[in-house]
Amino acid sequence: MTTLYGYFRSSAAYRVRIALNLKGLAYDQVPVNLVKGEQRGDANLARHPQGLVPSLVTDDGLVLTQSLAICEYLDELHPRPALLPEAPAERARVRALAQLVACEIHPLNNLRVLKYLVHELKLDEEAKLGWYRHWVTGGFDALETMLSREAGSGDFCHGDTPTLADLCLVPQVFNAERFACDLSAYPRIRRIVANCRTLPAFQRAAPGAQPDAG
């Protein structure tokens, strides 16, 4: 059985859960509690030398890390439903939308960065939240523009079925909501996320639906 090592509120693990669910793949989950520091324990470091989540261990022992790489691996192995379009230009657009979130917004706002701001740089809670919201706003401003202006947008980030871009967007919006970011300026983003949240694959992947949600 494929096993996903992750944390219920991890955006990266959330993406992989959605991908697995969309593909209809069975998997076990093993929680790695990021708040307690379990990601830095020997067991997790043996799977993921960066001390992060997620890790996906296949039934034949293959260990995969980095959420976008895992999602593309699953898409190549199980091509339907597709997470990436067939046309090269459309694939590039979906990857650009996905990477805007996963490579530009998320790394600046994940737990280890926020902890560094507080414990090492001695920022107070207000300053930490200001940092978080600054990067969300900058990224979502650009994303809203792309989704509103570009012809490829539909009910989802690209077209009328979920793609890799939606797998990245939904977890990021979940976290933005957790940190009380004002999303009123992003009607296209909010509409797409609402569409995603009607789908069982996204519902089952939501943080509150996970066994370690507490």
Every domain of the chain and the residues it spans: 3-81, 88-201
Arithmetic mean of pLDDT, 31-55:
97
Do the domains 3-81 and 88-201 sit in the same CATH topology, yes or no? no
pLDDT tops 90 at residue 65: yes
The single-letter DSSP state of residue 208 is G
Q: In what order do the strands lie in the sheet with 28-31?
A: 28-31, 3-6, 55-57, 63-65
**What's the pLDDT score for residue 103?**
98
pLDDT tens column, 137-176 = 999 999 999 999 999 999 999 999 999 999 999 999 999 9
pLDDT tens column, 106-129 = 999 999 999 999 999 999 999 999
Among 3.90.1300.10, 2.40.110.10, 1.20.1050.10, 1.20.120.550, what is the CATH number of 88-201?
1.20.1050.10
**What's the pLDDT score for residue 127?**
98
Q: If DSSP codes are grouped into helix, strand and coil, which group holds residue 214? A: coil
Closest by CA position to 92, among listed 172, 173, 162, 152: 152
> Which CATH architecture fits 3-81?
3-Layer(aba) Sandwich (3.40)
pLDDT tops 90 at residue 214: no
Q: If DSSP codes are grouped into helix, strand and coil, which group holds residue 102? A: helix
**What's the pLDDT score for residue 29?**
97
Closest by CA position to 81, among listed 193, 156, 189, 188: 156
| Unique residue bearing structure tokens 């401003």 | 141
pLDDT tops 80 at residue 46: yes
